[in-house]
């Protein structure tokens, strides 16, 4: 049996990058998988890929910045599969802004996608678990930058630090319901979204990954499939009683100085 055999897993922001890697890893471990996102061409293709590999899978089109759509996507999954056993919040906005140049609109966009969406997705999933009096697991993909981050990530850090606090708060609130909620502070990761960010905001060329890797202790950026394996472990019973943990999944050490 796989680590997630007979589990229904909802991956928000699951059409590419870390989310898509989590969806594939969960499917390999026996789960029924639903993914959400704003790009139907990617979502439908991933659902087809997983279905053809023998997994029950579906795509739900949703803009997770909209609280009603975040809750509605969970309702669609419950309607289709009867329940949600595991939730992963991996959608994220990484557009740049400093304390001085961030507009109210940019700030609100970060809060909507990086904090409000996960909040209401968790609300819907936990409500389902409680209604069934069943245990469940949630993993929030956060960022190592929530500890402080670069000056040009001000609204991103504000929202993701809120998600870290929410993770601990919800875990504490529902520990007696056997609902385990954890988070991952991921470091610099080679995803499609990061490629677009580097090119759009930093003028990066085709070799930006190689240049970045040379500056990192392990000689490489993090990989989505590596993160996905860690997420699956946290979703599964193999992670035991762990809840309320926000784990630094990074190659830089918080507080370490050279």
Q: For position 27, which CATH number holds?
A: 3.40.50.720
Task: Give the per-residue pLDDT at 49.
Answer: 97
Our count of domains for the chain comes to: 1
Q: Is residue 257 part of a domain?
A: no
Q: pTM, whole model, 2 decimals?
A: 0.93
Q: Is residue 80 part of a domain?
A: yes
Q: Is residue 258 part of a domain?
A: no
Q: Is residue 217 part of a domain?
A: no
Task: Give the per-residue pLDDT at 1.
Answer: 66
User: Within a 10 A sphere around the Cβ of 150, how many other Cβ atoms?
Assistant: 11
Q: Is residue 32 part of a domain?
A: yes
Q: Is residue 52 part of a domain?
A: yes
CA angle 58-59-60, nearest 5°?
120
Catalytic pick from 156, 163, 179, 231?
156
Identify whether 59 is a catalytic site residue: no
Name the residue range of residue 166's domain: 8-187+222-247
Residues 6+ apart with CB under 8 A from 183: 139, 140, 141, 142, 163, 164, 167, 245, 246, 247
Q: Is residue 210 part of a domain?
A: no
Say if CB 127 and CB 75 are below 8 A apart. no
10-residue block means of pLDDT along the chain (258 residues)? 94 94 98 96 97 97 96 97 98 94 98 98 98 98 95 97 98 98 90 79 84 88 93 98 97 88
Q: Is residue 199 part of a domain?
A: no
Task: Give the per-residue pLDDT at 98.
Answer: 98
Residues 6+ apart with CB under 8 A from 186: 18, 141, 142, 143, 144, 222, 227, 249, 250
């Amino acid at each position: 049996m796989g680590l997630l055999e007979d589990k229904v897993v909802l991956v928000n922001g699951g059409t590419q990058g870390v989310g898509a890697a989590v969806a594939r890893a969960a499917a390999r471990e026996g789960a029924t998988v639903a993914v959400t996102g704003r790009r139907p061409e990617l979502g439908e293709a991933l659902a087809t890929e997983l279905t053809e590999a023998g997994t029950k899978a579906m795509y739900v089109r949703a803009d997770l910045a909209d609280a009603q759509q975040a809750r509605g996507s969970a309702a669609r999954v419950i309607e289709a599969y009867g329940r949600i056993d595991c939730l992963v919040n991996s959608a994220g906005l990484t557009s740049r802004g400093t304390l001085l140049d961030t507009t109210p609109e940019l700030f609100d966009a970060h809060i909507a996608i990086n904090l409000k969406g996960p909040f209401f997705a968790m609300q819907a999933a936990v409500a389902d678990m409680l209604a069934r009096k069943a245990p469940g697991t949630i993993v929030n993909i956060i960022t190592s930058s929530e500890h402080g981050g670069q000056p040009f990530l001000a609204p991103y850090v504000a929202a993701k630090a809120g998600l870290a606090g929410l993770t601990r708060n919800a875990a504490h609130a529902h520990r007696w319901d056997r609902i385990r909620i954890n988070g991952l502070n991921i470091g610099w990761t080679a995803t499609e979204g990061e490629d677009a960010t580097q090119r759009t905001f930093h003028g990066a060329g085709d070799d930006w990954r190689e240049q970045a890797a040379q500056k990192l202790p392990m000689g490489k950026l993090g990989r989505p499939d590596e993160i996905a394996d860690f997420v699956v472990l946290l979703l599964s019973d193999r992670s035991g009683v762990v809840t309320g943990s926000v784990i630094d999944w990074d190659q830089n050490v918080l507080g370490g100085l050279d």
